[in-house]
Structure formats: structure tokens, C-alpha cells
Structure 1
Amino acid sequence: MRNPFSKTYTPEEHEMFDFLSQIKFFERMKNKEMARFIPAMHHRKYKRDEVVFFSKDPSQALYLVKNGQISLTIDVRDNFETIMEINKGEAFGENSLLENTKRTYTAIIVSEEADLIVIPHFALQEVFDSNPKIKAKVMTSLAEYYNQNNQRLFRSYRESFGFFSLRQMFE
């Protein structure tokens, strides 16, 4: 039997929970935990070639892709080199989950249009400050995400040996 005092959610909220549960940083959360983020979410539409943010900008929000494709690029000698394509059901701007960070890449819309959900950094921090369990779940997912990126970086380095020195990472 269902607890008569437990919160019930609207069909729209359940749809949002289904969406969020597919995203790396929300995958460990229960519906009531994901619900804490809903009031902070802003829906934004972007057009092809629009820049969501530039490298070195302050990391002010996490972006969730409802529809569209985003290219994450780095500046290499006056050119933008794509490091990753982000699609529906994925997130980017993940370093906004940390405090006092700057963007490490530029995010550009490459599809005709993109629908993004934006969660501001200050709202993320408010949820984290009031619920350490949620913060622990998100930080665990973030650590896994960065670990996967390191594995890809090192694999790429091994495959292209000689183009750069890994030692430079730590200087």
C-alpha cells in the first residue's frame, strides 16, 4: 500500500525524472532528490552556430540536452578543434558542479537548433548545501566522468605517441 503522506508527482515531473535519470550526474538519484533541481531549471532554445559558452568563461551553469547536438571544442592555434559531440540525454558544462571554475572548452550548437535545460551554478550549490547525500551522489558521478575522460586521454596519447608530452599536464 502506498504511503498517503508521500509526495505525488505530475506526469510532467515523471517525464523529467525519466529524462534526468539517463544523465550521468543524476543517475544515482531517487525522484524526490531529482525534484529538488526542477525549480532551478530553465529551458533555452539555441540555433546553429550559437555559442553556449566560451573557454575560460566562469562556469555558471550545467547544461542538459533535451534535443540537438553540441560540439565541445578547444582552441588550438586560432582554430577550434572538436573534442566531443554532445547529444540528447547528455550533459555538458560539468565543471559548474565544482566551485570557482572556468570553462575548459567552448560549446557550440551544431544542429539546426537545440533545446537545453540550464541549471545555474548557484542553484546547484544551494541543493548541495542543503542535502549532502545528493552532493555525494553527484560528486561520485563527476569523479567517474573525469576518470573515463582520463582513460580516453591516456589511450589517445598512447595511440599518437610523440605528438605531445604527458609531463606537460603536470607542469
Structure 2
Amino acid sequence: MWNPFARKYSSQDKKLMNFLRKMLIFSCLTDEELMAFLPNLYLRNYSKDEIIFFRNDPSQALYIVKSGQVRLDLDVGERFEELGKITEGEFFGENCLVQGSHRLYNAICSDSITELYILPLANILEIFEEYPRIKSKIYEMMSKNQQDYIQNIFNAYRDSFGIFELSHSYFKGENRNNKEITE
């Protein structure tokens, strides 16, 4: 049924909302909920080999690839191991949603020009404070995303015939439910 009082969105807003909705983290949000994020997305261009962030940097933003490609890698001793590439319509840096977290990997632009939407953590937290339902939905999608990552780790472990000890990466300390976990 047509509602003459329904909010109208510009074609540019609708295009950006449809772009965001393709990502798991935003897939469950309504147009109205997505609209809360649009004014807080900052578009920035990066050049080839430009560092977006280093491992151990404080996690202060979520990044969304509008165009181009970003390489994620991990420094292992004197060398770098590529974890993968993030391309158009994908996001990274989602661990910013974990309070006090630091980056787990390096992010480096790998195309001549890469356009990234940057969503600062301060803005995300403001949205979460004003709209607790959005916060709940985003964290639910992040749990799904983490579940997928863990499944990928288990699959890689099985495929590698147990070359590394999975218990070293999955459990820290003697008891997973113990409040005092040893390092």
C-alpha cells in the first residue's frame, strides 16, 4: 500500500544502501537503519602500496572497498604472508567493533587507485547508542562472520593434515571457561 508520508531517499542514497546491503554486516538492516550510516561514510583514495594500517595499530574504523583491491598480510619474522585480497563490495577492519582491539594484520592498497569508504568507530558507537536495535543486528551478523572464519580455519587444518596444533590457536590456557586465562 502506498504511504504518502514514507521517507523518500535520493537515487544516490538508494544506490549506496544497495551497495552496503550486499555485505553480510549490513545485510539485515532496513533502509531507515542503513541511512544512519550514510552521513558517516568518508570516501578516501589510496595509491598502490599505500599502507591503510599496520598490524597492532589501534582499531578505529571499518573499511569498505568501493573500487580497487586491498591486500591483507601478516608479518612472520622477516617476511610477509598474504592472507588474501579484499575487493569491491567487501569490508575489513571489523575488529574495531571489539572495544580496545588492535589490528590483527597489515592492510595495503594493491591497485593503482583504490577507493575506500571509511566508517570511524566513534560514529559507529554513536549510532549504536542511539539505535540499540542496529547494534544488536550488526553484532549478530559479526557473530555469523566470525563463525565463517572459524569454519575456514578448521577446514584449512583438516586440509593441511594437522600440520599445526589447532589447540594453540583455539584455546589459550587450560580451560576455555576459566576466567584467568594464561598467555
- 1:6 CA displacement: 2.1
Q: How many residues of Structure 1 are paired with residues of Structure 2 in the alignment?
A: 171
Partner of 1:70: 70
* Counterpart for residue 7 of structure 2: 7
Pick which of 50-59 and 96-105 moved more.
Answer: 96-105
Residue 79 of structure 1 aligns with an amino acid whose one-letter code is R
Structure 1: distance between partners of 2:55 and 2:124: 21
Task: Provide the rounded CA distance (Å) in 2 between the counterparts of 1:22 and 1:108.
Answer: 23
**What does 1:17-166 align with in structure 2 at a 5 Å threshold?**
17-166=17-166
- Over the aligned positions, Cα root-mean-square deviation in angstroms equals 1.1
Query: In structure 2, what residue type is equivalent to 1:104?
Result: L
Runs of 4+ in 1 over 4 A off after TM superposition: none
| Bigger Cα Rg | 2
Relative to structure 2, which stretch is displaced further, 157-166 or 20-29? 157-166
- The alignment-based identity, stated in percent, is 37
* 1:162 positional shift: 4.3
Structure 1 distance, partners of 2:133, 2:78, is: 43
- Give, in angstroms, the shift of residue 5 of structure 1: 2.4
Unaligned ranges ≥5, structure 2: 173-183
Question: Would you say the 8 A contact 1:24–1:91 is kept in 2?
Answer: no
Query: Distance in 2 between the 1:18 and 1:162 partners?
Result: 41
Q: Which amino acid aligns with 2:115?
A: D
TM (norm. structure 1) is 0.96
Q: TM-score, normalised by structure 2?
A: 0.90
User: For each residue in 1:91-142, what CA deviation from the matched residue of structure 2 results, as whole angstroms up to 9, or x when unmatched?
Assistant: 0001112221111111111111100000000101111111111111111111
**Match of 1:34, as an amino acid?**
L
